[in-house]
Structure 1
Amino acid sequence: MLEIRSVTRRFGETVAVDGVDIQIAEGEMVGVIGRSGAGKSTLLRMINRLIDPSEGAILFKGREVSSLKGAALRRWQRDCAMIFQQFNLVPRLDVLTNVLLGRLNHRSTALNLLNLYSREERIQAVAALERLDIAHTALQQAGTLSGGQQQRVAIARALMQEPKVILADEPIASLDPLNAKVVMDSLADINAREGITVITNLHTLDTARRYCTRIIGMARGKVVFDGAAQALTAEAVRRIYGAEAGADAVPEAITSTSIETPAAPEPAFAG
């Protein structure tokens, strides 16, 4: 469904993504992992067309989206929703209005300039907030919410686009473990219930294994692993995270946000 064909992106003399070839089927939940600077965010931004490939092509259902312009490009960015690490909400606007902004590419320029939304759109926005268990925040300014709540607002806004693909660029990197779990549970639920393809960049191996049916590992702009979560062996982890340092193994504790639950104490018995 989504094809990335020999895609390269250069920034001056720096090659951020280097000849990547990937095919992603409809309805997959894919985790892209790797060290900072591996090319993960650049890859997602090229798919969404926030930046253009230097070489290669990106196709969706056989149509080349890497060459779209104007209204056709706006339709692709509507169908390919983007969720960012830093939420990209408008802090001074209330939560409901932030969610309604997901309808921009479905509406006329006049309606957008007048900031007019139909009753049906408002109902849809409240339903998206209810699904993410934050409807009670609808009239609060977005900037007053916690990070976890703001990321759920960003997911609700993405749902308002009625997308075919959701790209999540490090959606839990700035969240504590409990809020990270809530956000990943929400993305997994959307993937399972709607069948929407989800591609998410992650730093944490335990999160990728738990939520993603397929994992793509990147190092120095190249894909060095592409397979099922259970196939992510110690050797594959070394290629993704440890090759530059020449490490024989990478401790997974340094790539984990797991919540350690203390073991219950042994019951005491009278002698």
Structure 2
Amino acid sequence: MKFELRNVTRRFGGHIAVNSVNLSIPQGQMVGVIGRSGAGKSTLLRMINRLADPTSGSLHFGDLEVSALRGGALRNWQRDCAMIFQQFNLVPRLDVLTNVMLGRLNHRSTAMSLLNIFTREERIAAIAALERLGIEQTALQAAGTLSGGQQQRVAIARALMQSPKMLLADEPIASLDPLNARIVMDALKDINEREGITVITNLHTLDTARAYCERIIGMSAGRVVFDGGPNELDAEAVRTIYGTGHDGAEIDESMTSTAISVGHAAPVAVASFSVMA
């Protein structure tokens, strides 16, 4: 099953954030979206999750027209298409375990959600998700007491609890140091490879996109200007995506580097875990 954007445009007043984008993403791909700030990357992800609606065009997942969904069907899509944000979007005063279990809200009755009642199976699954991400020891801590890297891993664990078909990550490592950035990207790659879940992530860092993503989409001024594998992201492609500096000089890739050295940092703990149906 594939996800498709068909001639999708998003306008904000007179500004075109995403301009006539056509993409076809097969199930199970790990896709990185790169480009300057304001290129349309975040708007693209928000439309896929339906946090924003396209001004024109349509979005499809197999036979399902995602852009036409309303009400309960839309909530089901947002459950199946989990979103991870740069700012984590956790509830700081709640403990980590509860934050993770909140990923089950769209699978539960309204009464159980209002009463904050979670089943034994949901608690076991939440702990397993935390173990997979190497942070099970934080389960009873308030989420607001964790480091940025730990909070992002909690957000990934919460997304896993949704049993998603797609996982969207909007700049998931932008505020993290290189070690935590590698841990988070290792976790996303592991989810992609082990569960076969499509992962689409916005990235500012070319080295990370090349290291982790089998497909890279480059955006400029709302348009897709590059779509290829990591080996195709050469100097000419970078120039097409990012242009040149104010003085006409080529973009220095070190400006975007996270200094992630794949294969040299300590690996994140990843345990066998199957998301709940």
- Common fold, TM-score beyond 0.5? yes
Match of 1:33 in 2: 34
Name the structure 1 match of 2:267.
none
Q: Compared with structure 1, are the counterparts of its residues 72 and 61 closer, same or farther at alpha carbon in structure 2 (3 Å cutoff)?
A: same
SS state at 2:11 partner: strand
Aligned 1:124-163 pairs, distance under 5 A:
124-163=125-164
Note the C-alpha offset of 1:242.
Answer: 1.6
TM-score (norm 1): 0.94
Aligned length, in residue pairs: 260
**Cα pair 1:3 1:60 within 8 Å, conserved:** yes
Q: How does 1:197-236 map to 2 (within 5 A)?
A: 197-236=198-237
Q: 1:28 to 1:110 in 2, by over 3 A?
A: same
Matches of 1:12 and 1:206, distance apart in 2: 35
Name the counterpart of 2:11: 10
AA of the residue aligned to 1:10:
R
Q: Is the 8 A contact 2:32 2:216 kept in 1?
A: yes
Unaligned 5+ runs, structure 2? 262-277
Offset of 1:244 from its aligned partner? 7.6
Cα distance change of structure 1 residues 58 and 85 upon mapping to structure 2, 3 Å threshold: same
Amino acid aligned to 1:214 = R
Q: Is the 8 A contact 2:18 2:221 kept in 1?
A: yes
* Per-residue CA distance 1:77-103 (angstroms, 9 max, x = gap): 000000000000000000000000000
Cα RMSD after superposing both structures:
1.1
Shift in CA distance, 259/22, structure 1 to aligned 2, threshold 3 Å: closer
Q: CA deviation at 1:243?
A: 5.0
Q: In the alignment, does 2:84 pair up with 1:83?
A: yes
CA gap 1:93/1:71 in 2 versus in 1, 3 angstroms: same
Aligned partners of 1:238 and 1:248 also within 8 Å = no
TM-score normalized by the length of structure 2: 0.92
Q: How does 1:1-271 map to 2 (within 5 A)?
A: 1-242=2-243, 245=246, 247=248, 249-259=250-260
Deviations 1:90-145 (A, max 9, x none): 00000000000000000011110010000000000000000000000000000000
Shift of 1:49: 0.3
Runs (4+) of structure 1 moved beyond 3 Å?
A: 243-248
Query: Quick check: 2:245–2:251 contact (8 Å CA) kept in 1?
Result: no
Give 1:255 shift.
1.1
Rounded Cα–Cα distance in structure 2 between residues aligned with 1:79 and 1:59: 13
Superposed displacement of residue 249, structure 1: 2.4
The 3-state SS of whatever aligns with 1:24 is: strand
User: Secondary structure at the residue paired with 2:117?
Assistant: coil
How much does 1:251 deviate?
1.1
Q: Which runs of 5+ in 1 are unaligned?
A: 261-271
SS of residue in 2 equivalent to 1:154: helix
Identity rate, percent: 72
